């Protein structure tokens, strides 16, 4: 099984982009290159970029985006090849026209009659895919059954454009697709149109992402896309990118001080200071080939890590600020992937491969005899204690799709927690014990027993005691996104990794 192999990286760029305070002064439009009144609307539009929250407030007027010509305000950048655009957005105020609109757009030129396609939400809730096939042609429309979308996505693969949309917190509904020739190099971005030449409307765009996905010929575990570390506010679902690298960064743990993260990259662990956006290699002694299974103890003093130096992964413990690693699981018994500490620090739980089966095991933190907690055929993975020590959450494929399960701390009373039409991995319980987050893969993209890189995924949450599941993040990622516990100590944020080819980075290279 390919599970959690340690990476050797193909470096796509020679620089790392730091998102610091000076960035907003150098790049006032954030990820975009320009903003333009398209089609000479009577009132001038504008954009204001909030560099801390990475949000855009766009104002725009104009008669419409329809028929043979358009009038609106467009915030754009140029792109080539395949890409994926995504944003959360909402209007400010009640508005005057039912057909005022905001959305994502791909355009051949900045001319008012240009060929284009847009994923659009109207003031009355109408959500649709609209497009003009050629310069000066009549605009076409494909309406979605969903209305009032707060999250929209527009993806280009070759000449195929696909729109997906959702109300905030829901998964995407049925898609709309169209084949369209707009040229290789196009203008992509966000827009607002008031549908009234004498009125200007405003919309706020958050979680704006322009992703360059993995090419079809990418060789998994030998070639990698760049990575962005993001911090998600669980109350607003607004996410900020705090660091980008051309390398594969994986599995951020939030340290007990609330000021730093630990992640793995290229076989090493790194301590990352959030305020300064500075990573420093963490000393793990002889454990040199570390993968993305590393977990802090509840008191924040120790780490359990997984290292496969030329052989199957072995579990170790090491001080949280670095030091010599102490072996916990044994060599020669099969791979061990460490996932959780008991709250009292006495035990570790892990996914172990023994005789070709992957099951949940417990072992004393000082080493000793391991106990097998699951015995059903198929993969059981991602075990993690609740803060009160009563339960262990994990994910299992035993019921068909990968789902979240729970057992008592002694391995008994194993019950299924999620039961839906997705593949759900790596449940993480918040420090206050109230919520669970987990990553969700689409079953049409990923087999139940697999959690690969570079897929369309959700991060979802649900109450520990059961209740509705909602999406808190829509992203392009997968392996390494949220393999390990990544809640902030105050349970208000999570850290995760998203991916994009940074040769076409969302963020221009910062100037010195």
User: For residue range 244-288, what is the model confidence (pLDDT) as tens digits?
Assistant: 999 999 999 999 999 999 999 999 999 999 999 999 999 999 999
In the prediction, which pLDDT does 39 show?
A: 98
Distances (CA, A) of 126 to 69, 103, 148, 286, 339: 20, 12, 6, 59, 45
Q: By the 8 A CB rule, do 369 and 404 touch? A: no
Which of 161, 183, 211 delimits the end of a domain? 211
Asked if residue 171 and residue 300 are part of one domain, the reply reads no
For residues 241 and 201, state if they share a domain.
no
CB atoms within 10 A of CB 356: 7
CB under 8 Å to 89, separation ≥6 — which residues? 102, 103, 121, 150, 152, 190, 203, 204, 205, 206
What total of structural domains would you count in the chain? 2
Give the pLDDT score at 465.
87
CA torsion 476-482-488-493 (nearest 10°) is: 30
| Domain-ending residue, one of 211, 234, 259 | 211
Using a pLDDT cut of 70, give the percent of the chain over it.
93
Say yes or no: 156 and 260 in one domain: no
pLDDT score recorded for residue 506:
52
pLDDT tens for 382-416 read 999 999 999 999 999 999 999 999 999 999 999 99
pLDDT at 11 over 70: no
Backbone angles phi and psi of 503, in degrees to 5: -60, -25
Judge whether residue 511 has pLDDT over 50: no
The CA-CA-CA angle for residues 470, 166, 141, to 5°, reads: 175
Q: For residue 8, is it within any domain?
A: no
Q: What is the CATH number of the domain that holds 232?
A: 2.120.10.30
Same domain, 48 and 185: yes
One domain, residues 396 and 319: yes
b/e for 425-459, b at 16 or more Cβ within 10 A? bbbbbbbeeebbbbbbbeeeebebebbebbbbbbb
Burial of residue 310 (CB within 10 Å: 0-12, 13-18, 19+) is exposed
Q: Are residues 359 and 447 in the same domain?
A: yes
Question: Contact, 88 vs 168, CB < 8 A?
Answer: yes
CA–CA separation, 143 vs 145, rounded Å? 7
Contact 277/258 with Cβ under 8 angstroms?
A: no
Q: Which of 198, 243, 277 is nearest to 506 (CA)?
A: 243
Nearest-angstrom CA–CA distance, 222 and 71: 47
Q: What pTM was computed for the model?
A: 0.94
Q: Is residue 219 part of a domain?
A: no
408 and 280 share one domain: yes
List, for residues 331-363, the tens digit of each pLDDT value: 999 999 999 999 999 999 999 999 999 999 999
In 3-state terms, what secondary structure has residue 192?
Answer: strand
Residue 18 lies in a domain: no
Assess whether pLDDT exceeds 80 at residue 243. yes
How far apart are the C-alpha atoms of 35 and 45, rounded to whole Å? 9
pLDDT in tens, 104-136: 999 999 999 999 999 999 999 999 999 999 999
- Is residue 120 assigned to a domain? yes
Same domain, 193 and 320: no
Percent of the chain with pLDDT over 90: 91
Which of the pair, 281 or 310, is modelled with greater confidence?
A: 281
**Residue 510 maps to a domain:** no
Residue 306 belongs to a domain = yes
Q: How far is Cα 470 from Cα 361, in angstroms, rounded to an integer? A: 30
Q: Decide: helix, strand or coil at residue 24.
A: helix
Query: How confident is the model over 139-177, as pLDDT tens digits?
Result: 999 999 999 999 999 999 999 999 999 999 999 999 999
Residue 12 CA, distance from chain mean position:
20
Q: What pLDDT shows up at residue 310?
A: 79
State pLDDT tens for residues 481-500.
999 999 999 999 999 999 99
Residues 207 and 278 in one domain: no
Say yes or no to pLDDT of 303 above 60: yes
Model confidence at 12, pLDDT cuts 50, 70, 90, reads very low
Contact 161, 131 (CB under 8 A): yes
Tokens describing residue 17: 């982009």
The yes-or-no verdict on residue 20 having pLDDT over 70 is no
CB 509 within 8 A of CB 226: no
In a domain, 1, yes or no: no
Q: Of 211, 243, 269, which closes a domain?
A: 211
> What torsion do the CA atoms of 15, 17, 22, 28 make, to the nearest 10 degrees?
110
Do both 298 and 177 map to the same domain?
A: no
Pairing verdict, β 371-372 and 357-364: antiparallel
Token couple for 225: 């896309």
> Quick one: pLDDT band at residue 309, thresholds 50, 70, 90?
confident
Task: Work out the average pLDDT over 188-198.
Answer: 98
pLDDT at res. 22 = 32
CATH of the domain at 116: 2.60.120.200
Q: What is the pLDDT of residues 59-111, one digit of tens each?
A: 999 999 999 999 999 999 999 999 999 999 999 999 999 999 999 999 999 99
pLDDT score for 27: 57
Q: 125 is in which domain, residue-wise? A: 31-211
Contacts of 39 by beta carbon, 8 Å cutoff, 6+ apart: 62, 69, 70, 71, 72, 112, 113
**Of 59, 51, 55, which Cα lies nearest the Cα of 23?**
51
Nearest Cα to 485, choosing from 353, 296, 300, 302? 296
**388/412 same-domain check:** yes
In terms of domains, do 206 and 238 share one?
A: no
Mean pLDDT in residue range 448-452: 98
Looking at the DSSP bridge assignments, the partners of residue 131 are 117, 140
Mean pLDDT of the chain: 93
pLDDT of residue 48: 97
Examine residue 17 and state whether it is found in any structural domain, yes or no.
no
């Amino acid at each position: 099984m390919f599970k959690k192999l340690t990476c050797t990286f193909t470096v796509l760029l020679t620089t790392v982009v730091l998102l610091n305070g000076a960035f907003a002064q150098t790049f006032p439009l954030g990820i975009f290159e320009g903003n333009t009144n398209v089609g000479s609307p009577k009132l001038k539009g504008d954009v204001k970029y909030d560099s801390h929250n990475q949000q855009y407030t766009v104002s725009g007027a104009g008669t419409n985006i329809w028929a043979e010509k358009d009038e609106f305000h467009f915030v754009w950048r140029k792109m080539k090849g395949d890409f994926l655009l995504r944003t959360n957005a909402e209007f400010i105020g009640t508005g005057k026209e039912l057909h005022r609109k905001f959305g994502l757009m791909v355009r051949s030129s900045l001319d008012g009659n240009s060929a284009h396609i847009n994923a659009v939400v109207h003031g009355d809730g109408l959500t649709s895919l609209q497009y003009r096939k050629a310069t000066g042609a009549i605009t076409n429309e494909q309406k979605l059954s969903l209305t009032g979308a707060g999250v929209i996505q527009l993806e280009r693969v070759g000449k195929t454009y696909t729109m997906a949309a959702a109300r905030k917190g829901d998964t995407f509904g049925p898609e709309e697709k169209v084949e369209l020739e707009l040229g290789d190099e196009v203008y992509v971005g966000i827009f607002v149109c008031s549908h009234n030449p004498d009125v200007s409307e405003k919309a706020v765009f958050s979680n704006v992402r322009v992703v360059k996905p993995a090419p079809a010929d990418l060789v998994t575990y030998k070639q990698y896309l760049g990575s962005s570390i993001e911090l998600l506010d669980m109350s607003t679902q607004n996410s900020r990118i705090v660091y980008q690298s051309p390398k594969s960064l994986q599995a951020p743990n939030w340290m007990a001080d609330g000021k730093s993260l630990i992640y793995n990259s290229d076989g090493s662990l790194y301590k990352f200071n959030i305020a300064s956006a500075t990573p420093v290699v963490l000393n793990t002694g002889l454990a040199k080939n570390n993968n993305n299974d590393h977990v802090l103890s509840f008191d924040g003093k120790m780490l359990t890590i997984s290292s496969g130096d030329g052989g199957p992964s072995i579990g170790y413990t090491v001080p949280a600020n670095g030091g010599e690693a102490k072996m916990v699981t044994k060599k020669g018994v099969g791979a061990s992937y460490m996932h959780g500490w008991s709250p009292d620090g006495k035990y570790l739980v892990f996914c172990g491969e023994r005789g070709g089966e992957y099951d949940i095991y417990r072992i004393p933190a000082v080493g000793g005899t391991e106990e097998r907690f699951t015995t059903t055929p198929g993969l059981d993975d991602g075990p993690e204690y609740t803060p009160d020590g009563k339960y262990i959450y994990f994910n299992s494929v035993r019921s068909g799709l990968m789902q979240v399960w729970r057992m008592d701390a002694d391995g008994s009373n194993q019950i299924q927690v999620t039961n839906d039409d997705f593949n759900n991995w790596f449940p993480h319980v918040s420090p206050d014990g109230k919520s669970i987050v987990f990553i969700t893969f689409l079953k049409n993209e990923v087999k139940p027993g697999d959690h690969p890189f570079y897929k369309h995924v959700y991060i979802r949450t649900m109450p520990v005691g059961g209740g509705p599941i909602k999406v808190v993040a829509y992203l392009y990622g997968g392996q390494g996104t949220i393999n390990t516990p990544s809640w902030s100590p105050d349970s208000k944020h999570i850290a995760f990794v998203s991916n994009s080819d940074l040769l076409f980075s969302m963020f221009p290279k910062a100037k010195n």
